[in-house]
Homo-oligomer: A and B are copies of this chain.
Amino acid sequence: MSYKAGVVGAAGFAGIEAVRILTLHPEFELVAATSNELAGKRIADVYPNFEGVTDLEFVAHDQAALDTCDVVFLAVPHTAAIAQAPALVEAGVAVIDLSADFRLKDPAVYEQWYNVKHTATDLLAQAAFGLPELFRDGLEDLAARRAEGKGVLVGCAGCYPTATSLAAAPAIRAGLAGPGVIVADAVSGVSGAGKKATERTHFCFADENLEAYGVANHRHTPEIEQILDIPGRLVFTPHLAPLDRGLLSTVTIPLGENKVTQQQLDEIYGNFYRDDDLVTVLFGGIQPKTGSVAGTTRAHVAVVLNEHANVIVATCAIDNVGKGAAGQAIQCANIVFGLPETCGLQTIAIPA
């Protein structure tokens, strides 16, 4: 294995998924999985899916040890990444941040939606955005800097922004969106609500239930608008459904005066993702299923022309913790380290 890797905040769902992928990754060697709360416990004592696989223990945050890593994944709450990233980058580490701290390019927007001042704006300006299919250039720029021995920072896209943007970007970038709002109604599995046991995540309340949440005020709204360059035009409504892992975003884009056929749409989408191994466009009326990508870093996308209402309906299915978080973070790391983009990510979802 070529590179030493650390995961900060390894006990949460995104963190432990990073641990799971890194444990089998051929080029990154996991040397530190930190959790101040669980330090000293075997990972397998907390997540028994690691029984028989590894006896690695969670360790307390240790800056010196992390500074010697080649790459550190920050799977921490927002503001915690702002606190930790600068020193790591300074130490020459490639930092892959899974939090919201380095996603929004405008600190004022960050402050507006997160109600806290951004205190690492210099670093923010240098960060690449971690959604390779849409912003691969920025990541490849980091690869060049890292190759010169410099610390670099990736602010990875959130789960909803990933699925929503992968669905909408080909149409938006092709200039197909007419006037009017763009509506993204997305549905996530319960793992999106995090590891903390709450009433919302209690099986008996989540099971056999559907509900919307964060209506009109979810913090992923400005991130999606930034990615797609549609300021003030997005209506984003997330929903919770009774499954563990999986996220489906359905995006309705008005065409206005623009004309397009289903065949042209298929070509636009097919061409857009032609060179992307982890994003697959489905044709012929086949719709993406989250079950087809659960546990992986893959995305399935489809697009349908709705002539009746003169709109496009684009859909994308991902695993919210995989392509929506840890998997995508490792995909970014692969690029930054000049590895094949799918290195360690060549898994296939369970068929049934």
For chain A, residues 304 to 335, give those with C-beta under 8 angstroms from any C-beta of chain B. Answer: 304-311, 313, 315, 317, 321
Our pick among B202, B239, B280, B308 for the contact of A52 (Cβ within 8 Å) is: B280
Contact call A47/B208, Cβ cutoff below 8 A: no
Knowing A49-B293, A306-B215, say if A250 contacts B207 (CB, 8 Å).
no
Across-interface contacts of A23 in B (CB, < 8 A): 348
26 A-B pairs whose Cβ atoms sit less than 8 Å apart in the complex: A13-B352, A24-B347, A48-B289, A49-B349, A49-B350, A49-B351, A50-B351, A52-B298, A180-B180, A183-B235, A190-B203, A195-B202, A195-B204, A202-B203, A207-B207, A208-B294, A209-B246, A209-B289, A211-B317, A212-B315, A216-B305, A237-B252, A239-B248, A241-B241, A242-B242, A321-B352
Our pick among B52, B289, B310, B347 for the contact of A277 (Cβ within 8 Å) is: B52
Nearest Cβ on chain B to A274's Cβ, whole angstroms: 12
Contact call A311/B51, Cβ cutoff below 8 A: no
For chain A, residues 169 to 188, give those with C-beta under 8 angstroms from any C-beta of chain B. Answer: 180-181, 183, 185, 187
The complex is assembled from copies of this chain, and their number is 4
Across-interface contacts of A290 in B (CB, < 8 A): 208-211
Contact call B210/A190, Cβ cutoff below 8 A: no
Across-interface contacts of A180 in B (CB, < 8 A): 180-181, 254
Contact call B208/A291, Cβ cutoff below 8 A: yes
Our pick among B210, B245, B289 for the contact of A289 (Cβ within 8 Å) is: B210
**Bound form: Cα–Cα A195–B213 in Å:** 22
Contact call A242/B243, Cβ cutoff below 8 A: yes
Chain B CB within 8 A of A41 CB: no
**Bound form: Cα–Cα A125–B224 in Å:** 48
Across-interface contacts of A207 in B (CB, < 8 A): 190, 203, 207-208, 242-244, 291
Chain B CB within 8 A of A101 CB: no
For chain A, residues 20 to 68, give those with C-beta under 8 angstroms from any C-beta of chain B. Answer: 20, 23-24, 47-53
Contact call B197/A197, Cβ cutoff below 8 A: yes
Main secondary structure of the interface of A (DSSP, over half): loop
Chain B CB within 8 A of A226 CB: no
Using A49-B293, A197-B202 as known contacts, list a sample of 10 further A-B pairs with CB atoms less than 8 Å apart, ordered by residue number in A.
A197-B197, A201-B204, A203-B207, A209-B246, A209-B290, A211-B248, A211-B288, A212-B315, A217-B308, A241-B243
Our pick among B47, B212, B309, B349 for the contact of A351 (Cβ within 8 Å) is: B47
The 10 tightest CB contacts between A and B, nearest first, are A52-B280, A209-B291, A185-B185, A216-B306, A197-B197, A204-B352, A49-B349, A203-B206, A210-B248, A190-B203
Nearest Cβ on chain B to A334's Cβ, whole angstroms: 17
A140-157 contact mask (Cβ, 8 Å, vs B): 1 or 0: 000000000000000000
Contact call B352/A244, Cβ cutoff below 8 A: yes
Contact call A197/B199, Cβ cutoff below 8 A: yes
